[in-house]
Amino acid sequence: SYELTQPPSVSVSPGQTARITCSGDALPKKYAYWYQQKSGQAPVLVIYEDSKRPSGIPERFSGSSSGTMATLTISGAQVEDEADYYCYSTDSSGNRWVFGGGTKLTVL
Partner 1 sequence: QVQLVQSGAEVKKPGASVKVSCKASGYTFTSYGISWVRQAPGQGLEWMGWISAYNGNTNYAQKLQGRVTMTTDTSTSTAYMELRSLRSDDTAVYYCARLRVVGHYMDVWGKGTTVTVSS
Task: Give the residue with the Cβ less far from partner 1, 47 or 74.
Answer: 47
Q: Does 96 bind partner 1 (CB under 8 A)?
A: yes
Name the segment binding partner 1 (CB under 8 A); options: 18-26, 61-69, 71-79, 95-103.
95-103
Where do the H-state alpha helices sit in 1-108? none
Q: Is 1 in the site for partner 1 (CB under 8 A)?
A: yes
Q: Give the Cβ contact number of residue 33 at 10 Å.
A: 22
Beta bridge partners of 88: 33, 99
β-pairing, 97-99 vs 83-90, is antiparallel
From the list 39, 59, 61, the residue with the least C-alpha distance to 106 is: 39
- Is residue 37 involved in binding partner 1 (CB under 8 A)? yes
Considering only 31, 65, 77, 83, the residue that binds partner 1 (CB under 8 A) is: 31
Kindly state whether residue 93 participates in binding partner 1, applying the rule CB under 8 A. no
Q: Which is nearer to partner 1, 17 or 88 (CB)?
A: 88
Minimum CB distance to partner 1, residue 99 (Å)? 4
**95 is an interface residue for partner 1 by CB under 8 A:** yes
Q: How many CA atoms, within 13 angstroms, populate the side-chain half-sphere of residue 14?
A: 4
Give the β-pairing of 103-107 and 9-12: parallel
33 binds partner 1 (CB under 8 A): yes
